[in-house]
């Protein structure tokens, strides 16, 4: 493309109504504001596979220059993602995986490593005999499977843990309802630790426990995953003590845009980018929260400046136009 030509990135997001994905969008926009002539077309599939398939079809028809897909469920989204790639559109898979290697690049956090760290950390918090409630994300998604497997491998084999599980499907409300149902069938006093595959589900289960008996909560450790910034997300929850810890699952939003730009400029990119994780305890949560608030403030200022710049430029071009008319007259 020529220098002044516009690039279009299509972004198919499996759902937008979620704190971690909102953080991803902010990180994408911050990165995108570094480039001129870049437009991102965002489509929200609202957790509906068919909707996501239709939206990807639309983005293929629009002939976007790069397609970023954050799949809802692997099996269902794989064929259309492969179709886009085969149609010649460079395709970036972000977060949840697909069941094929026909894509340009995969970007995502290390969910196995996260699970393993969580297992090791949980073991260190627990006595020799303990009961753990694992709260699964949607079972058909790769992060849920990997966070489970890692957790199993991370648990201390010399201790005797009883494992219980429910499926919260990545959603706070679902985890909350499923926990309420589950607590009818077990003695909730036995639970020593909750390990949820994401922070919002951890918070949902926490609320369910409090509703049943608020005195129990001080005896139960609660671990989540994500550590996103924003209202009611993981960083805030760990820093105010609602969660005991979380494990950072970077959104990869900024990197996805950087990689898309590399592809557009014809530079080589790797087949996969696996993002680092870290334990987030109360102390780190406070620091990270401060940093992310600062980042958001900067970004808001940049946006404001950009807007006033646009106003000035528009006035200027209006002025130029009238000047031209005056000269012609
Ligand atoms: C958001 C989310 C995150 C989680 C990721 C896994 O939709 O559930 O909380 O880390 O998706 O795909």
CB of residue 226 inside a 6 A radius of ligand 1: yes
Tell me the whole-structure pTM to 2 decimals.
0.91
DSSP state at residue 5: P
CA nearest ligand 1 atom 2, residue: 170
Asked whether residue 1 carries a pLDDT value surpassing 60, the answer given is no
CB of residue 13 inside a 6 A radius of ligand 1: no
Question: How confident is the model over 37-70, as pLDDT tens digits?
Answer: 899 999 999 999 999 999 999 999 999 999 999 9
Question: How confident is the model over 138-153, as pLDDT tens digits?
Answer: 999 999 999 999 999 9
DSSP state at residue 188: G
CB of residue 95 inside a 6 A radius of ligand 1: yes
DSSP H helices, the chain, are 19-32, 49-61, 74-86, 111-125, 142-154, 172-183, 199-212, 234-239, 253-264, 282-328
Ligand 1 mean position, distance from CA 1 (Å): 35
Contacts of residue 277, defined as CB under 8 A and 6 or more positions apart, other chains included, come to 109, 110, 113, 114, 117, 247, 248, 249, 250
Question: How confident is the model over 187-201, as pLDDT tens digits?
Answer: 999 999 999 999 999
Confidence class of residue 325 from pLDDT cuts 50, 70 and 90? confident
CA nearest ligand 1 atom 4, residue: 198
Contact 199, 234 (CB under 8 A): yes
């Amino acid at each position: 493309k020529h220098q002044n030509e516009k690039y279009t990135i299509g972004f198919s997001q499996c759902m937008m109504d979620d704190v971690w994905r909102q953080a991803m969008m902010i990180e994408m926009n911050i990165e995108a504001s570094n480039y001129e002539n870049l437009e991102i077309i965002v489509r929200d599939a609202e957790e509906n596979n068919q909707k996501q398939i239709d939206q990807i079809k639309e983005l293929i028809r629009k002939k976007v220059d790069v397609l970023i897909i954050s799949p809802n469920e692997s099996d269902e989204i794989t064929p259309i993602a492969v179709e886009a790639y085969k149609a010649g559109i460079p395709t970036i898979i972000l977060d949840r995986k697909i069941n094929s290697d026909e894509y340009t690049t995969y970007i995502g956090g290390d969910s196995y490593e996260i699970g393993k760290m969580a297992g090791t950390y949980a073991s260190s918090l627990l006595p020799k005999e303990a009961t753990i409630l694992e709260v699964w994300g949607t079972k058909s998604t790769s992060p849920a499977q990997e966070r489970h497997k890692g957790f199993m491998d991370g648990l201390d084999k010399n201790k005797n843990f009883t494992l219980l599980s429910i499926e919260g499907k990545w959603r706070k409300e679902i985890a909350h309802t499923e926990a309420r149902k589950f607590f009818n069938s077990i003695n909730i006093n036995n639970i020593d630790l909750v390990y949820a595959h994401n922070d919002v589900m951890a918070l949902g289960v926490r609320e369910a426990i409090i509703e049943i008996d608020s005195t129990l909560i001080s005896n139960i450790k609660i671990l989540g995953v994500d550590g996103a910034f924003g209202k009611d997300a993981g960083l805030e929850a760990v820093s105010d003590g609602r969660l005991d810890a979380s494990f950072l699952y970077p959104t990869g939003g900024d990197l996805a845009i950087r990689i898309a730009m590399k592809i557009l400029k014809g530079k080589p990119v790797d087949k996969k980018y696996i993002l680092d994780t870290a334990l987030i305890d109360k102390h780190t949560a406070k620091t990270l929260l401060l940093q992310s608030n600062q980042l958001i403030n900067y970004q808001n200022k940049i946006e404001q400046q950009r807007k006033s710049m646009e106003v000035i430029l528009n006035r200027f071009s209006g002025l130029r136009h009238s000047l031209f008319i005056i000269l012609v007259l």
